[in-house]
Structure 1
């Protein structure tokens, strides 16, 4: 198993736990929690595969993905009371999934020989749209549309990935470095309360 595969699995697990935590916070039943976990884990990657014409989409070619999601759902359900600071747990798992999936999307875009702007767009979509689908299904305004540093972290991480790739640095180093960078950007933004400006119109 390659580092790429390991990171992909970790991303699926992180986002599945993230989705489970949001669904449990909304007091959904077990079936609802699993559906939200599933949609969060595969949503961004599914949309990416549909847009680039990769059929069938990634989780249909690899049924093990469903088992990873199921295991994550069970883990989150069993240890829900242990996750004392559920909002902090949600933020952490969401950030991990965001960082890893952004890098997965960047690598897939590179392998398809897309233009750098398209690669960054695909990477951002892969990293963030699982969370968008999760929030919509849970009747919340998606994080990506609020003032949090979210999609911006994806764009920066993907751009740095492409820059490092041009220097022919070892792919494993690039994967780990840029994933950690995206997670760090999210954590720093939270700690120092950094955010993008919001726009509104007076009535």
Structure 2
């Protein structure tokens, strides 16, 4: 690694090293029987997509939705950092070509969801205080949505797009540089 001489860069490096020594804070968990619940009304196509992302990540649809909601409430910092790391690794030109190939997940193409169709409803179980944070964020105009359901749907659509981008960039990085994936090998 190149030596860092700037006092600002050195301070940032020291903060990063300090954070790296601490284990990540686990996301809040709750018990499904006592968890706060909310029915999200959306499109069965969205739930099918979330099921696929969840299978890829090794989690349930509910866990996938919880991850999306917690990431959105946290300001999308983690996923933005991941995207930027992949883009930096691949380079802007290659990344732009890859990202241009990803199809949009546009819910307007699905028309109006049928309210009687049970596939268009999903009961989400929240970790403690999440429902309150969303409700209060909408009431205080901190979250841009007319109601909780609209916020959840917009958040999940964005999550689907971000996950598609992450998957495409990671797959490209592995295809371009197979030495990235050597079992049991890690050298900082």
Larger radius of gyration: 2
| Range into which the TM-score falls when normalised by the shorter chain | under 0.3
Q: Which has the higher helix share?
A: 1
Q: Which has the higher strand share?
A: 2
Q: Which has the higher contact order (CA 8 A, sep 6+)?
A: 2
